[in-house]
Amino acid sequence: MKFIKKLYNIFATIFSRRIIIILLILGEVVFLIGSVLVMGEVYYIVDAVLGIIAFILSLYIVNRDEDPAYKIAWLIPLLLFPVLTAFLFLFFKMQVSLQLIKKGHVKVLDETKDCLQPDERTMEYLEEESPKLAGYCRYMQKYAGYSVAANSLADYYPSGEKVFPDIKEALESAEKFIFMEFFIINEGKMWNEVLDILKRKAAAGVDVRLIYDGFGSQMALPSGYHKKLEAVGVKTRIFSPFTPFLSTSQNNRDHRKIIVVDGKTAFTGGFNMADEYINEKERFGYWKDGGIRISGDAVYNCTVMFLRMWAFLTKEKVDCESFKAPSEKLDCPEGSFMLPFSDSPIDDEAVGKLTYLNIINNAKRYVYISTPYLVLDSDMVTAMEYATKSGVDVKLLLPGIPDKKYMKMIAQSQYKKLLKKGVELYEFDKGFVHEKLFVSDDNIAVSGSINLDYRSLYLHFECGTFMYGQSCIADMKNDYLEMITKHSSRITEQWIKDIPLWQKFAGALLNVISSLL
């Protein structure tokens, strides 16, 4: 088994996009050198043809309706490696496999579009309470397909080890169904204890379903693991299993983290099902994560979210209404609302990004942000700059110990620019920050799986929960302030000057192509 797992990891590395791109770059260098040596004067004709190809493709890229940073990420490699870049651009832009995924998801969305209808009384209240908030909710309903819900509560968990006991308690209480969807599942204390509960519940007749990502999880799980789960009653589907060849589908992962129990309770946030998320295993110092438990009517959004993905993977028709729990009146703060939502690469709506921009643009006093990765496009930088110039306190908390060193270099390459625009920056001294958190003005927050990088905002299937007026927002704010004041270092101009020169150079270089990584 260990040999098979090692062999699989070797294949996954060999056929990863980064390795293939490196090999293609080497291939182009060999091609150019060979052309000069073999073709002689004829090479100049080849060079002219390549120049024409690069020019035409450059015009096409410049005139596309995309972020300038993404255009630059293609244009610079196009100048250096025209053949390679043209091949990669056409390959990724044709998105053949993504079109197949899109076709399946569109079919499911059409079949389930009537599952989530907005409550008119709630929308009327929102119109009176905050027209801007009502406008955001109308946008989410029309373009994301998820409705705002009153009569809902959220509880905040500042770490994986804090949420784990309540996850187990909720799973133990299941009487009808358990839905789980994760990017990473890995054997160990956390997953083994959860699996024991799932086995018992499945044996007792509870409908237990699990989705895990084919790249994020299969790098950790033994081959054929899904069959073992099926054998013990856990209905299991793998999202886009890893295949040892270059495919655009490998670019679009299921990065969501969702647990739904009986339609009454849901969990979401940054934590996956692996021991580092509860600090039973140390990988990058202390693992700082966070998430929420949802109770009440908003849970139905999470139920539909899972069922839509399940229907896509199984091709089964799903009756969402049959999984909707009866509404029970909760003691909620007056005027509080919740809107769990998903984001996907199958449409032209960057729902996660627009949600974050909406918070920054409408903040009056502060916006506190926590993210493991920082790859900001011009829209996000402009929004932060406008906020700080308007007197809004914008803070960013990032990892001190990264899980990917190149991502930290990319983040640090943006520090100087952000400092000049008035953004306060902090690095967590004790370890790795994996939490994805926005909190603003004591009454708005988002918790979920959406990082501040190109992959989360454009390429992955993600989820988040927008909260308004929830009591737990104060807990989020207090935890954030404790993190930056007691456990983090503030980034200053002198701090940036002390970064080794080679790291600055590498970060600047990587930042140019950061949207492609």
Calculate mean pLDDT across residues 247-269: 88
Q: Looking at the predicted structure, is the pLDDT value of residue 279 above 80? A: yes
Predicted local distance difference test score (pLDDT) of residue 377: 87
pLDDT digits (tens, 9 = 90+) for 447-479: 999 999 988 998 899 999 999 999 999 999 999
- By C-alpha distance, which of 364, 158, 390, 397 is closest to 278? 158
Candidate from 75-79, 173-177, 315-319 with smallest mean pLDDT = 75-79
Distance, CA of 74 to CA of 450 (rounded, Å)? 24
- pLDDT value of residue 474: 98
Cα distances (angstroms) measured from residue 341 to each of 257, 284, 303, 448: 12, 30, 11, 9
Homologous superfamily (CATH) of 155-333 is Endonuclease Chain A (3.30.870.10)
Q: 439 — phi, psi (to 5°)?
A: -140, 135
CA atoms within 13 A on the CB side of 335: 10
Predicted confidence (pLDDT) at residue 100 exceeds the cutoff of 80: no
Q: What is the mean pLDDT of residues 263-278?
A: 97
**What is the reported pLDDT for 14?**
44
Whether this prediction's pTM lies above 0.85 is answered by yes
pLDDT higher than threshold 60 for residue 3: no
Mean pLDDT of 107-123: 84
Q: Are 470 and 154 in contact (CB under 8 A)?
A: yes
In this prediction, residue 171 carries a pLDDT of 98
- Return d(Cα 261, Cα 229) in angstroms, integer: 19
Among residues 56, 125, 157, 46, the alpha carbon closest in space to that of 335 is found at: 125
- Give me the percent of the chain exceeding a pLDDT of 70: 84
Return the pLDDT at 250. 63
What are 27-60's pLDDT values in tens digits?
656 655 665 556 556 656 766 776 777 777 777 7
Going through 103-195 in order, the beta strands assigned E by DSSP cover 152-157, 177-182
Q: Which residues contact 291 (CB under 8 A, 6 or more apart)?
A: 156, 157, 163, 257, 267, 268, 269, 270, 271, 435, 447
Strands 431-433 vs 437-440: parallel, antiparallel or unpaired:
unpaired
For the four alpha carbons of 132, 447, 418 and 413, in that order, the dihedral sign comes to negative
Q: Which is nearest to 398 in space by CA: 358, 363, 354, 433? A: 433
The full set of domain ranges for the chain reads: 2-94, 155-333, 351-516
Q: Which of 74-78, 128-132, 302-306 has the highest mean pLDDT?
A: 302-306
Q: Which CATH class is domain 351-516?
A: alpha beta
Listed residue (178, 241, 166, 239) closest to 204, CA to CA: 178
Q: What's the pLDDT band for 114 if we cut at 50, 70, 90? A: confident
pLDDT number for residue 94: 59
Between 259 and 67, where is the model more confident?
A: 259
Please determine, for residue 410, whether its predicted confidence score (pLDDT) is greater than 80. Answer: yes
Q: Poorest-confidence range of 97-111, 209-223, 249-263, 389-403?
A: 97-111
| 199-207 mean pLDDT | 98
pLDDT of 141 higher than 70: yes
Q: Do domains 155-333 and 351-516 have the same CATH topology?
A: yes
Query: Does the pLDDT value for residue 497 go beyond 60?
Result: yes
Of 195-209, 311-325, 331-345, 491-505, where does the model show the most confidence? 195-209
Q: Residue holding tokens 């970060």?
A: 507
Q: Answer whether 276's CB lies under 8 Å from 129's CB.
A: no
Contacts of 101 (CB under 8 A, 6+ apart): 240, 249, 252, 312, 346
In the structure, what pLDDT confidence band is assigned to residue 215 with cuts at 50, 70 and 90?
confident
pLDDT at 140: 94
Task: Please give the residue that has the higher pLDDT: either 70 or 502.
Answer: 502
Q: What string of H, E and C letters represents the secondary structure of 400-461?
A: CCCCCHHHHHHHHCCHHHHHHCCCEEEEECCEEECCCEEEECCCEEEEECCCECHHHHHHCE
pLDDT for position 197: 98
Q: Is residue 439 predicted with pLDDT exceeding 60?
A: yes
What local confidence, expressed as pLDDT, does residue 4 receive? 46
Mean per-residue pLDDT of the chain: 87
pLDDT at 18: 55
Q: Is the pLDDT of residue 21 over 60?
A: no
Span of 151-155, 415-419, 498-502 with lowest mean pLDDT: 498-502
